[in-house]
Amino acid sequence: MDFSRDNRLIAAGTMDSYIRVWTLDGSPLMSKNPAEKDVKINNRKLIGHSAPVYGISFSDAIETDPNRPLFGETDKQLPDTGPKFLLSSSGDGTVRLWSLEAWSCLVVYKGHHGPVMKVQFSPHGHYFLTGGWDKTGRIWMQDHISAVRILVGHDTSISSIAWHPNGTYVFTASDETDKSIRMWNVPTGDCVRVFVGHTDYISSMECAPNGRILASADNSGNIFFWDLEKGVKIKRSRGHGKGGIWSMSFSVESTVLASAGQDCTVRIWDVAMPADGHKVAQQQAGAQPGQEQGETSAAAGAPGTAAGSSTSTQPQTGSTNTNPGQGKKKGKEVMITPDQVSCWSTKKTPVRKVIFTRMNLVVAGGCYEPDR
């Protein structure tokens, strides 16, 4: 599932191999196909894949009239700032580029061996990133039928991908036995960082708009924050139940993170607040504030990074939880770290996608499951 950046459209890929696009306000979807100029419907069905659709991504294109003055003449029609393209990845091993004006498939990209699990447009458009079952990440251009970069290094299938806001770096995460996150340089295709610390399937990643922090989440309900410059973990936030955190989004100022997952909740986190203040104080007071095993990351080209320079805040295994925000979920205790700001829950809707709009509103969507 994905929302367009102008918050007008939402698209969902299904296990039945098709994609459905809706307008959020119920207004009709316009078409430039002459045969459909009088058709007024608020949703469209895109058919072409032959296996479940695993990934969806809207473009962020903006069309402007160069002859329109910046000020005055407000009675003229405003330029269309909506997306023009939609990308989809599927279990049939292909990625498809769809026109949101003609409502048809423009290009079929082939290259992955096996299902393509994730697809995402770059922040500036034209380029896009895919992650596949064949353990590779691939960078593509819209006007090239083959990938321009193949990112090789993971031991198992790619489970999550993300772009850096400057478009120069990408992130890929691997599942099963690997459970590592790799940061790649797009112009060269080289791996420049490896982040290690997750002990479960990495289900979501998001890079902050300021370009300094990466957030990654796993099926155990953990959210890790990583310092990209130093290549170390900042903290681990907990509060979600098990089942996977499927989507995350930073606020425009990079100070707040929204997360959503299989436990039918949307949660808001304070990025700057420590996940456990008492643990931080004990570590800082100790003679050797080093990290626990499994919390370090290897930073290629930065061998001088001190192991004790990280302000790790991961609670130790088996430690007593003194946090007053502790709650229960389905009979099991779930520790909630103090950096959780708020939580919104649904009854029977696992939340598949959450975004911060450019006005810092939170929009979330999921699939209602009546049998839950």
> Which parts of 251-318 are beta strand (E)?
256-261, 265-270, 297-298
Q: What is the pLDDT of residue 81?
A: 73
Report d(CA 266, CA 259) in Å as an integer: 6
Which residues, in sequence order, are CB contacts of 19 under 8 Å at separation 6+? 11, 12, 13, 45, 46, 49, 53, 56, 86, 88, 98
Q: What is the pLDDT of residue 317?
A: 35
Q: What is the pLDDT of residue 342?
A: 95
**CB-based burial, 218-250: b 16+ in 10 Å, e otherwise:** bbbbbbbbbbbebbbbbbbbbbbbbebbbbbbb
Report d(CA 199, CA 362) in Å as an integer: 29
Contact by Cβ (8 Å): 352, 246: yes
Instruction: Give, in order, the Cα–Cα distances in Å from 180 to each of 7, 176, 216, 227, 343.
Output: 32, 10, 10, 15, 28
Average pLDDT over residues 16-45: 91
Average pLDDT over residues 352-370: 92
How does residue 299 score in pLDDT terms, banded at 50, 70 and 90? Answer: very low
Q: What is the pLDDT of residue 252?
A: 94
Q: What is the pLDDT of residue 76?
A: 56
How does residue 188 score in pLDDT terms, banded at 50, 70 and 90? Answer: very high
Q: What is the pLDDT of residue 36?
A: 84
Residue linked to tokens 């099963």: 176
pLDDT of 341 > 70? The answer is: yes
Report d(CA 254, CA 210) in Å as an integer: 6
Report d(CA 84, CA 98) in Å as an integer: 9
Mean pLDDT of the chain: 83
Say if strands 297-298 and 191-196 run parallel, antiparallel, or are unpaired: antiparallel
Q: What is the pLDDT of residue 69?
A: 56
Report d(CA 283, CA 276) in Å as an integer: 11
Average pLDDT over residues 130-154: 95
pLDDT of 137 > 60? The answer is: yes
**Which among 27, 98, 26 is positioned nearest to 57, based on CA atoms?**
98
Average pLDDT over residues 70-89: 72
Pick from 78-82, 85-89, 153-157, 260-264: least confident: 78-82
- For residue 289, the surrounding DSSP H or E stretch is none
How does residue 321 score in pLDDT terms, banded at 50, 70 and 90? Answer: very low
Q: What is the pLDDT of residue 35?
A: 84
- In degrees, rounded to 5, the angle at the alpha carbon of residue 269 between the alpha carbons of residues 264 and 273 is 155
Q: What is the pLDDT of residue 33?
A: 87
Q: What SS3 class is residue 308? A: helix
Report d(CA 237, CA 269) in Å as an integer: 8
